[in-house]
Structure 1
Amino acid sequence: MGIIHVSELVKDFRRPKRIKGALGGLRTLVTRESVIKRAVDGIDFTVDEGEFLGYLGPNGAGKSTTIKMMTGILQPTSGKIEVAGIVPWRERQRNALNIGVVFGQKSQLWWDLPLRESLQIIGKLYAIDPARHRANVDWFVELLDLDPFFDTPVRQLSLGQRVRGDLAAAMLPEPRILFLDEPTIGLDVVAKERIRGFLSALNREAGTTVVLTTHDLDDVERLCRRIILIDGGKVTYDGDVESLKSRFVQQRRLVVKLAAGVEWRGVGIPGVAESIGDEAVELAFDPAEIQVSELITAVLADHQLTDVAIVEPELENVVHRIYASAGMA
């Protein structure tokens, strides 16, 4: 059942028309002429409860604007949004009780207080039962490894530590939905892995619906079962990662390693591109035309192998190719 419904969503931003020439800056300030920029242009989608959705697009595509409308920060120009049965911008306080939000470069923690005290204050603000508060904090301390800096003032935390603290703060009231806008931007590999593990456990064990916007496609491939691609404020793809790869990538690769002393004799199948390296042979093929089993059988017929692997295309390469073909890169 859908927990988020977005229908014909439009968001326009109006700004004064920039006037060039002498005293252009001053004339721009006083002009009544304006320019309308459409950031979101008729978007439709539904998110089911418990989904982990990747919401992707190039800079300026409308991702953050959509998130801000779903969280109630912005009011749509037209169209409809319902989040857990609530119109976010009309009932911001009720909506806030159902959602958690983490923006990668902004914090909801108290700058001069230790992380422990920030979480205590949030518990009071949301009137969380003390026993439940302790249980949640203990769980987050374990999953996010907060203990080494739990009593450190937020201003002294590294970016990765602060983001982990923000995730704990966002989930402390047990919201049904978590919105994440670039949560791993600027983080090192260790911090990213810790956050990915937390989000996966949260979605799996607590059933939290997660909507993630990010440029780190490793996050998407590791976490998201469904992705929506947008450009120019419009949805260009809505489906799973594997279907996206199948739709936009026409080739797969089979990598084989020959046994010692074995020479490569080729496979003799039209449409297979062979690339012979020092340690392995790479075979590129169109899976719509050639079956993997057929190709492996042909290789084994004339060669003794020590290893064979099918290399799937990486999501990052697929998305970059889509952006480039559409002039988005």
Structure 2
Amino acid sequence: MLPHDAAVHVRDLRKQYAVHEKDPGFVGSLRAFVHRKTRQVEAVRSVSFDLAPGEVVGFLGPNGAGKTTTLKMLSGLLHPSGGEARVLGFEPRRRETAFLKQITLVMGQKQQLIWDLPALDSFLVNQAIYEIPDEQYRATMREFTEVLGLEGILKKQVRKLSLGERMKCELAAALLHRPKILFLDEPTIGLDVNMQEAVREFVRDYNQRYGATVMLTSHYMADVTSLARRILVIDQGQLVFDGDLAQLAEQGSGGKTVRLQFRQPVSGAQLAAYGTVVSSDGLSAELRVPRAEVSARAARLLSDLDVADLTVQDPPIEAVMAELFGAKAEVPA
């Protein structure tokens, strides 16, 4: 795809911070007052990718990898130290009005709603800021109220809303101007399972209805697997993977998961001869087996043990991320 066709175009994007360091204690504070020590930290290092109009992309990586920093640069909140970023043809760092009217950044741990006022008042403020015509505003409000189930909560003070209710209102406020680009940073964090699914369904519906481009980070892999076909993985500020979920599983894992049900109890020690035992409770077990040996080991299991059922699957994406990044991997809480 040519860069001028891209909704988001990024080439060699970089962000470097100067981090101040201080020795502990009173003496350290005095020294820092006279002579501050700093070190340079590269939060994002030469990241390049293009997103097509209407594409939904998962943006994954361990904590501190540079995901939020990248989203902030693409939304214009941070200026890059180098490289090029264009969103809908605009340079985000310029924060032009025409640009801001076509994007949104939703951060699950930040809020834009006015705490002591009803959510509806914040919506009216956003209508004025984005200069949304009354007819479009009313139509969008009817749509969001129905899809998100906002009836009955719009006139409550925001501080009296539950976390799930507040997140629904945050999404509605962020998308009231019908942006073409959605940068979603942990939009379901802290929500229960039902509310997470409601948010996913809303994002999916919005993408299909308006053809919006979505870039999504999340601790919950179900968010990514249910919404995105393409995955970008960043680690230590560098893009280390760009492809679909199946490719990520292939690259990140040298094995497949074999799930077993037995008619007679089988010990973990017995199963160790056939692969790495992930779990075992006697009548059921899960093994990790090298891809090249799956057929042979499955045949041995069926021949040697009293197996009632055997299935072979790619490992869950959470396990793949854990293998790629070790203890740093972001997996569901």
Q: Per the shorter chain, which TM-score range?
A: 0.7 to 0.9
1:67–1:179 Cα contact (<8 Å) kept: yes
**What's the CA shift for 1:47?**
1.1
2:136 maps to what in 1? Answer: 132
1:8 maps to what in 2? Answer: 12
2:196 to 192, 198, 214: 192
Give the superposed CA RMSD. Answer: 3.1
1:56–1:227 Cα contact (<8 Å) kept: yes
**What's the CA shift for 1:192?**
0.9
User: Does residue 76 of structure 2 align to residue 75 of structure 1?
Assistant: no
Number of residue pairs matched by the alignment:
319
* Counterpart-to-counterpart distance in 2, 1:20 and 1:218: 42
What secondary structure is seen at the aligned counterpart in 1 of 2:59? strand
- Show CA shifts across 1:108-154 (max 9, x none): 11222212222122122212122221121111112212113121111
1:321 maps to what in 2? Answer: 323
**What's the CA shift for 1:296?**
8.2
User: Does residue 216 of structure 2 align to residue 245 of structure 1?
Assistant: no
1:212 maps to what in 2? Answer: 216
**Counterparts of residues 93-108 of structure 1 (less than 5 Å):** 93-108=97-112
1:43 maps to what in 2? Answer: 47
1:16–1:33 Cα contact (<8 Å) kept: yes
* Counterpart-to-counterpart distance in 2, 1:55 and 1:327: 13
What secondary structure is seen at the aligned counterpart in 1 of 2:155? coil
- Show CA shifts across 1:301-328 (max 9, x none): 9999976544331111110111019999
* Counterpart-to-counterpart distance in 2, 1:168 and 1:72: 21
CA gap 1:121/1:283 in 2 versus in 1, 3 angstroms:
closer
* Counterpart-to-counterpart distance in 2, 1:32 and 1:22: 14
1:61–1:230 Cα contact (<8 Å) kept: yes
* Counterpart-to-counterpart distance in 1, 2:95 and 2:34: 35
Greater Cα shift, 47-56 or 26-35: 26-35
* Counterpart-to-counterpart distance in 2, 1:70 and 1:48: 15
What secondary structure is seen at the aligned counterpart in 2 of 1:229? strand
* Counterpart-to-counterpart distance in 1, 2:13 and 2:246: 27
**What's the CA shift for 1:253?**
3.3
* Counterpart-to-counterpart distance in 1, 2:100 and 2:150: 25
CA gap 1:34/1:299 in 2 versus in 1, 3 angstroms:
closer
* Counterpart-to-counterpart distance in 2, 1:78 and 1:278: 57
Gaps of 5+ in 2: 267-272
What secondary structure is seen at the aligned counterpart in 2 of 1:12? strand
User: Does residue 145 of structure 2 align to residue 148 of structure 1?
Assistant: no
**Counterpart residue identity of residue 153, structure 2:** F
* Counterpart-to-counterpart distance in 2, 1:40 and 1:115: 36
**What's the CA shift for 1:97?**
0.9
CA gap 1:17/1:285 in 2 versus in 1, 3 angstroms:
closer
CA gap 1:95/1:29 in 2 versus in 1, 3 angstroms:
farther
**Counterpart residue identity of residue 127, structure 2:** G
**Percent pairwise identity:** 36
**Counterpart residue identity of residue 234, structure 2:** I
CA gap 1:324/1:296 in 2 versus in 1, 3 angstroms:
closer
1:61 maps to what in 2? Answer: 65
2:180 maps to what in 1? Answer: 176
Gaps of 5+ in 1: 265-270
1:11–1:78 Cα contact (<8 Å) kept: yes
- Show CA shifts across 1:88-122 (max 9, x none): 11234332111011111211112222122221221
2:265–2:282 Cα contact (<8 Å) kept: no
**Counterpart residue identity of residue 130, structure 1:** D
**Counterpart residue identity of residue 111, structure 2:** S
CA gap 1:288/1:48 in 2 versus in 1, 3 angstroms:
farther
- Show CA shifts across 1:220-269 (max 9, x none): 122211111111111111111111111222222344557x8x999xxxxx
**Counterpart residue identity of residue 136, structure 1:** T
2:322–2:328 Cα contact (<8 Å) kept: no
1:72–1:92 Cα contact (<8 Å) kept: no
1:311 to 297, 310, 313: 313
2:270 maps to what in 1? Answer: none
* Counterpart-to-counterpart distance in 2, 1:251 and 1:297: 16
1:267 maps to what in 2? Answer: none
* Counterpart-to-counterpart distance in 2, 1:65 and 1:283: 38
What secondary structure is seen at the aligned counterpart in 1 of 2:189? coil
2:321–2:329 Cα contact (<8 Å) kept: no
**Counterpart residue identity of residue 216, structure 1:** Y
